[in-house]
Amino acid sequence: MDFFELVKNRRSLRKFSDRRVESRTVEKILEAALTAPSSRNSHSTRFLVVEDKDLIRHMSYMRDYGSAFMAEAPVAVMVMGDKRATDLWVDNCAISATFVQLAAEAAGLGSCWVHVEGREHVKGHPEMGDAESYLRTFLPIPEECGVECVIAMGYSPYEERKPRPEQDNSGKVQWLK
């Protein structure tokens, strides 16, 4: 598919079919994501691919809002950044995660971003810790890495994809000629 068509058609997917995702497909997606630009070519982004159903279910409890849907995803890719490599690890992660989503789309999968960085485990209860600390209790997240997000992915159960709603982009782009 043409890149512009792909970008136009992409929508976040929060329900997944039972169809298995081959590890080779995920490898291809991550090979593409590893080409993402990074500050000073620091390549600070790290990925943790989770295919274990029980682990993915545990991950879905990371927050009490906005993460439950990922329990049924066949694959979860955690996007992390090596804080020692650059102070812009969050920015690098966001670009890498975007590449993951676009590469997933190109591979025929749907995906959705689940945010981790700076998010509370239970909304309004900072004393309960944050989503990242919760994930660290059962996942091998390197000490030197911060966690930006998880990209949940899988095949769509729908015949057709939701159309992109009309968007008012007036005033969002300025030109100086």
Ligand X SMILES: Cc1cc2nc3c(=O)[nH]c(=O)nc-3n(C[C@H](O)[C@H](O)[C@H](O)COP(=O)(O)O)c2cc1C
- In the complex, the residues that contact ligand X under the rule CB under 6 A are 11-12, 14, 66-67, 112-115
Q: How distant, in Å, are the alpha carbons of 1, 23, 102, 105 from that of 5? A: 7, 26, 11, 11
The stretches of the chain forming alpha helices (DSSP H) are 3-9, 23-33, 53-59, 89-106, 131-136
- Comparing CB distances to ligand X, the nearer of 140 and 163 is 163
Bridge-partner residues for 47, per DSSP?
79
Q: Please state the closest distance from residue 115 (CB atom) to ligand X, in A.
A: 4
Q: Which residue lies nearer to ligand X by CB, 23 or 108?
A: 108
Provide, rounded to whole angstroms, the least separation between the CB of residue 76 and ligand X: 13
Pick 26 or 114: Cβ nearer ligand X: 114
Please name which of 143, 141, 142, 76 lies closest in space to residue 114, comparing C-alpha atoms.
76
Task: Answer yes or no: are the C-beta atoms of 155 and 139 closer than 8 Å.
Answer: no
CB of residue 4 to ligand X, shortest distance in Å: 15
CB of residue 116 vs ligand X: minimum separation in angstroms? 8
Q: Is 147 in contact with 75 (CB distance < 8 Å)?
A: no
Q: Show the tokens assigned to 174.
A: 């300025």
Closer to ligand X by CB, 14 or 43: give it: 14
Q: By C-beta, is 15 or 40 nearer to ligand X?
A: 15
C-alpha to C-alpha distance for 54 and 41, rounded to whole angstroms:
36
Residue 103 C-beta: closest distance to ligand X, Å: 15
